[in-house]
Amino acid sequence: MTRERLRGVALTALYGLPLLFLAAFFFYPLLRIFLLSLGGAKAWAALGTLAQPFFWKVLWFTTWQAVVSTGLTLLAGLPLAFVFARFAFPGKTLLRALTTIPFVLPTVVVAAAFTALLGPSGVVNHWLQTLFGLTRPPIRLDQSVWMILLAHVFYNVSVIVRTVGGFWANLNPRLEEAAAVLGADRWRLYRHITLPLLLPSILAAALLVFLFCFTSFGVILILGGLRFATLEVEIYRQAISLFNLPVAAVLALVQMLFTFAVMAVYTRLQARASRPLEARPQSTTARTPRTWAARTVLAASVIGMALLLLAPLLALVWRSFTVGSDGITWANYRALTVNLRQSAFFVPPIVAVRNSLLYAIATVGLSLCLGVISAYLLARPHSLLAAILDPLFLLPLGTSAVTLGFGYIVAMGPLRTSPILVPIAHTLIAAPFVVRTFLPALRSLDPRLRQAAAVMGASPTRAWWEIDVPLLARALLVCAAFAFTISLGEFGATLLISRPDVPTMPVVIYRALGQPGLSNYGQALAMSTILMVTCAAGLIAIERFRLQDVGEF
Mean pLDDT of 209-219: 86
Q: What is the DSSP letter of 383?
A: -
Q: Which one, of 7, 61, 36, lies nearest residue 411 by Cα?
A: 36
> Does position 489 have pLDDT exceeding 80, yes or no?
yes
- Rounded-to-5 percentages of helix, strand, coil across the chain: 80, 0, 20
Q: Which one, of 429, 423, 417, 551, lies nearest residue 478 by Cα?
A: 551
> Does position 343 have pLDDT exceeding 50, yes or no?
no
Identify the pLDDT of residue 184: 59
Give the end-to-end CA distance of the chain in Å, rounded to a whole number.
43
Burial class for 140, CB neighbours closer than 10 Å (0-12, 13-18, 19+): middle
Q: How long a stretch of residues is the chain? A: 553
Contacts of 409 by beta carbon, 8 Å cutoff, 6+ apart: 239, 245, 416, 496, 497
In whole angstroms, what is the distance from residue 396 CA to residue 215 CA? 13
In whole angstroms, what is the distance from residue 447 CA to residue 284 CA? 30
Cα-based distances in Å from 406 to 139, 232, 235, 362, 423: 37, 11, 8, 22, 15
- Residue 20 near residue 402 (C-beta atoms within 8 A): no
Give the pLDDT confidence of 433-463 residue by residue, as tens digits.
888 788 877 877 767 777 777 777 777 777 7
| Phi then psi dihedrals of residue 294, to 5 deg | -65, -40
**Dihedral sign computed on CA atoms, order 93, 94, 99, 103:** positive
Instruction: Name the least confident of 41-45, 260-264, 396-400.
Output: 41-45
> Does position 546 have pLDDT exceeding 70, yes or no?
no
In whole angstroms, what is the distance from residue 456 CA to residue 362 CA? 38
Instruction: Name the least confident of 257-261, 363-367, 381-385.
Output: 381-385
Instruction: Name the least confident of 29-33, 136-140, 174-178, 401-405.
Output: 174-178
Spell out where 222-358 has E strands: none
Contacts of 191 by beta carbon, 8 Å cutoff, 6+ apart: none
| pLDDT band with cut points at 50, 70 and 90 for residue 503 | confident
Spell out where 334-381 has E strands: none
Domains (range + CATH), the chain: 11-30+323-553 (1.10.3720.10), 52-286 (1.10.3720.10)
> Does position 549 have pLDDT exceeding 60, yes or no?
no
Identify the pLDDT of residue 360: 93
Q: Which one, of 151, 139, 161, lies nearest residue 68 by Cα?
A: 151
Give the pLDDT confidence of 76-106 residue by residue, as tens digits.
888 888 888 878 777 777 777 777 778 777 8
| pLDDT band with cut points at 50, 70 and 90 for residue 67 | very high
> Does position 229 have pLDDT exceeding 50, yes or no?
yes
Give the pLDDT confidence of 99-114 residue by residue, as tens digits.
777 877 788 888 888 8
